[in-house]
Structure 1
């Protein structure tokens, strides 16, 4: 893929994923509002971590569901506990593998990856699995720290350029639909399965 792969953030850092400053840094409510979801959509949150985005998406798909995919069972346990505490029933934890999101073919309307794609040790296999799971017209929302911007206070290993992401997604015939640049430090890139 022409880039160094980052390490996966361990479940021990789950509290950092829920830090108060993340609201200003990543504007999660604005991100999910810009996904254009229908109430009955099925959305895969790939690399869901503690469910920071999963719970926000779940509110927008009351007749659908969120498939919170993570390779760490401990993260899925955190999500399950939070679901019980909040009374949320439309999130389903999915234990993925480093090379397979474990999603059935044609099962999702959208997938979101927030600061996760650059950590995939097997990006080709993972995107292929997500591509197969997408229904026709389904979209991938990929958020990564802007590698083009030296002022973004993140180590280069945890950044990606728009050009790099578009090149990698094009291998699957995913159409680059748009890049939204309302976030302070990240691209919100949108790809569609045609």
Structure 2
């Protein structure tokens, strides 16, 4: 499907535009940021050596590569709509010598996956921006074999995200991202997750809370360079003096969160599991 005609056209534009540029520039830092949640997702996926695995929203490929190491005798495919991140993922696979993984540009909501071809679908924060989540997960369910498994990492509500509350407050943003529309919080409410996955034809849906710190940098200056780049879009319309004030407040907030493990903020995720009947 042409990206412009995709139901996720806005996401295509963002991830191959300003958002994608930032994520490509800071790919290693994004991986480090959620590293304390990553192992819990991989444990939940329970990938076996000969299984076929799909990584949805694979980004720069960290989850796909770990899945390929677990499924050492099985094929692993990472899909994403961000071409810059896919380039990094392919480079990482070659550099690591991991040969049983391929990366494809594809929208998981609409891509025609071969029916009943997969044992596991896994995603680390890659399923929260679908225009039609029921259609997207139904499409993924078609690709799973009967008994095949789904394992997702999604954010819990904003009340559990110290990092999100802090950065929005510093930028003067009063409203949290919506929990009922494409956003980082679109799969944060258990009832909605159960409703979406059930309507998509998946069963045995469970959500397990996982709390861990988000890492932003080795020290205040290091974290500031990263977060200021992330926040640039929120400050684009500010006058110079207001921008300076916001950046000063951001630096002080980061400094207040600097400790022996660097600059960290509290965060919490759901480990979501389901299966195809």
Instruction: Tell me the TM-score range normalised by the shorter chain.
Output: 0.7 to 0.9
Contact 1:18 1:52 in 2 (8 A): no
Q: Supply the distance in 1 between the matched residues of 2:112 and 2:87 (Cα, whole angstroms).
A: 17
Q: Separation in 1 of the partners of 2:208 and 2:134?
A: 24
Q: Which residue of 1 aligns with 2:152?
A: 142
- Is 1:100 matched up with 2:110? yes
Matches within 5 A, 1:18-29: 18-19=28-29, 20-24=32-36, 26=37, 28-29=38-39
Match of 2:160 among 151, 155, 169: 151
169, 186, 190: which is aligned to 2:269? 186
For residues 18 and 164 of structure 1, do their structure 2 counterparts lie closer, same or farther at Cα, with a shift above 3 Å needed? farther
**Structure 1 residue runs of 4 or more that deviate by more than 4 Å after TM superposition:** 6-9
- Which region of structure 1 is more displaced relative to structure 2, 167-176 or 151-160? 151-160
Structure 2: segments with no counterpart, 5+ residues = 1-9, 165-175, 179-183, 213-267
Higher helix share: 2
| C-alpha deviation, 1:71, in angstroms | 1.6
Structure 2: how far apart are the matches of 1:38 and 1:98?
Answer: 23
Q: Give 2:74's aligned residue.
A: 64
Alpha-carbon distance in 2 for matches of 1:15, 1:45: 21
Query: Would the alpha carbon gap of residues 138 and 183 (structure 1) be closer, same or farther in structure 2, given more than 3 Å must change?
Result: farther
Distance in structure 2 (CA, Å) of the matches to 1:16 and 1:165: 30
SS in 2 for 1:101: coil
Q: Which runs of 5+ in 1 are unaligned?
A: 1-5
CA drift of 1:15 comes to 4.3
Structure 2 distance, partners of 1:34, 1:14, is 27
1:42-191 paired onto structure 2 within 5 Å: 42-97=52-107, 99-147=109-157, 150-153=159-162, 154=164, 155-157=176-178, 158-159=184-185, 160-184=188-212, 185-191=268-274
Deviation at 1:17, TM superposition (A): 4.2
Q: CA, structure 1 residues 186+17, in 2 after alignment: closer, same or farther (shift >3 Å)?
A: farther
What is the CA–CA distance in structure 2 between the aligned matches of 1:101 and 1:183, rounded to whole Å?
A: 33
Q: CA contact under 8 A between 1:98 and 1:121: conserved in structure 2?
A: no
TM-score, normalised with respect to structure 2: 0.61
TM-score normalized by structure 1? 0.85
Q: Number of paired residues?
A: 186
CA distance in 2, matches of 1:116, 1:106: 21
Partners of 1:34 and 1:56 in 2: how far apart? Answer: 13
Query: CA separation of 1:166/1:139 partners in 2, compared to 1, >3 Å: closer, same or farther?
Result: same
Aligned-partner SS, 2:107 = coil
After superposition, give the CA deviation of every residue in 1:4-52 in whole Å (9 maximum; x if it has no partner): xx9565331134443223213x2x1332123212101111100101112
Matches of 1:97 and 1:156, distance apart in 2: 22
